[in-house]
Amino acid sequence: MEHRDYIGAKLGMWLFLFTEILLFGGMFLVYAEYRDLHAAEFHDAGKEMSVVIGALNTVILLTSSLTMALSISEIKRGMKIRSLLFQAATVLLGAVFLVNKYFEWSDHIRKGLYPNSPELLALSHGKVLFFGLYYVMTGIHALHVIIGISVIAFMLVLTLRNRISASDYVKLENTGLFWHIVDIIWIYLFPLFYLIL
């Protein structure tokens, strides 16, 4: 049976986002314990991180949140082409974020700074844990970026086919909500990994 409940659809999405807060919250708990135990070593390990790439990625995601929000405003006004362009921009920015991440990780892996590597295990416990947290947390985050990009791309197709329009756009709005949470997670990851200076 067909029942349209706009508020209900948004409520469901917000509730789902709460689960993401708790999921990443668990990882933040792990981070909090080990940073507390190994403050100085985290500080040292933090020097391996490039503030430039981190800041760049932060700006990229913040901008992608802007384009995402604008894509929804535009579809609400019935401006289909503009909405499509903003959606595409969001996808592109998300992809650039991932490319940066790829280069960042490659660089660290080349230096032997990856879980269970002999080089890493030779370092202090604090550093081993820092890099473990770095890969796991940015890794799970990157997974969410990939999912987000894929869903937005799918929304793009739906918008093209007029299944998302000025009279029914909750799917796009909910996609936006997910994308913004992904941005918020990164807003916290950035200082926690790149700004322990």
Partner 1 sequence: MDESTSHTVGTKTFVATWIALLCFTGLTIVAARMQLGQWSMIANIAIASAKASLVLWFFMHLKYERRLFKFLLFVPILTISVIIGLTFFDLWYR
Partner 2 sequence: MERTFYDKRGIASWLFTTDHKRIGLLYLMTSLAFFAVGVSLGLTMRLELIRSGMHIISAQTYNAVFTLHGVVMIFLFIIPGIPSSLGNFIMPLQIGAQDVAFPKINMLSWWLFIIGGACAVASLFTGGGPPDTGWTFYVPYSIRTGTNISLAVFGVFLIGLSSTLTGMNFLTTIHRLRAAGLTWGRMTLFTWSIYATSWIQLLATPVLAITLLLIIVERFFGVGFFDPAKGGDPILFEHMFWIYSHPAVYIMILPAMGVVTDIIPVFARKNIFGYAFIAASSLAIAFVGYLVWGHHMFTSGMSDTARVIFSLLTFIVAVPSGVKVFNWIASLYKGSIRLDAPLLYTLGFIFLFSIGGLTGLVQGALATSLHVHGTYFIVAHFHYVMFGGAAMGFFAGLHYWFPKMTGRRYEEHLAKFAWVFLFIGFNMLYFSMFVLGWEGMPRRYYDYLPRFNGPNLVATIGSWILAAGLIIMFYNFIHSLFRGEKAGSNPWEAASLEWQTPSPPPTENFETAPVVTRGPYTFND
The SS3 assignment for 165 reads strand
With CA atoms as reference, report the closest residue to 143 among 193, 92, 101: 101
Question: In this chain, which of 19, 73, 106, 150 binds partner 2, going by CB under 8 A?
Answer: 19
> From the list partner 2, partner 1, none, which binds 50 (C-beta under 5 to 8 Å, kind-based)?
none
Site stretch for partner 2 (CB under 8 A), options 48-56, 81-89, 129-137, 146-154: 129-137
Is 192 among the residues that bind partner 2 (CB under 8 A)? no
Q: Name the minimum Å distance from CB 180 to partner 1.
A: 5
Q: C-alpha distances in angstroms, 120 versus 37, 42, 47, 114, 183?
A: 18, 14, 15, 7, 30
Do residues 130 and 138 lie in contact, with contact meaning Cβ atoms separated by under 8 Å? no
Burial class (CB in 10 A: 0-12, 13-18, 19+), 42: buried
- As beta bridge partners, residue 165 has 168
Can residue 187 be called a binding residue for partner 1 (CB under 8 A)? yes
Q: Which is nearer to partner 2, 32 or 187 (by Cβ)?
A: 32
- Hey, which residues between 19 and 48 contact partner 1 (CB under 8 A)? 21-22, 25, 28-29, 32-33, 35-37
Residue 75 or 133 with smaller CB distance to partner 2:
133
What is the distance, to the nearest Å, from the Cα of residue 158 to the centroid of all Cα atoms in its chain?
A: 23
Q: Which residues bind partner 2 (CB under 8 A)?
A: 1, 3, 5, 7-8, 11-12, 15-16, 18-20, 22-27, 29-30, 33-34, 37-38, 115-116, 121, 124-126, 128-129, 132-133, 135-136, 140
